Amino acid sequence: MIYSRLAVQRALRSRDPGLLQVAFEADVLDRYRGKRQFTIMRTDSAGRVKLEGDWVLDFGIAHDDKIVHASWQALTQHLPEEELMHWSEHAVSEELSENFLRMQLAPGVCFDDGELRTW
């Protein structure tokens, strides 16, 4: 977890989200398996998916091969739009507040979220 925290600290300090990691179910890679134009390679903790002559994405491997992750910068700079949509369908995250995310996605909309109180 120390390196995750360091990546976030560096991203916030520089005000650059490029280093922030986005996590995905590892089955996001199933789309590329068995297709001649794609190559998927890995070590114990890192991998690469490559479309021959086109794009390459390096990713990390975590949680007993169940999660892969890549930096925001790598995702947005290396994947074409249709691949970004595919990866977004496999996005995962830590437990987050569903209501808060709804509020962020629809600013100005009224949400019943309980009584206001101090914490």
Average pLDDT, the chain: 93
- Higher pLDDT: 107 or 41? It is 41
What distance in Å separates the CA atoms of residue 42 and residue 69, rounded to the nearest whole number?
Answer: 13
The pTM assigned to this predicted structure is: 0.86
- Per the structure block, which two tokens stand in for 29? 């890679």
Helix (H, G, I), strand (E, B) or coil at 51: strand
Q: Of 37-41, 42-46, 96-100, give the lowest mean pLDDT range.
A: 96-100
- In the sheet with 46-51, reading across from the earlier edge strand, the strands are 38-42, 46-51, 56-62, 67-71, 21-25, 91-92
Give the percent of the chain with pLDDT over 90. 74
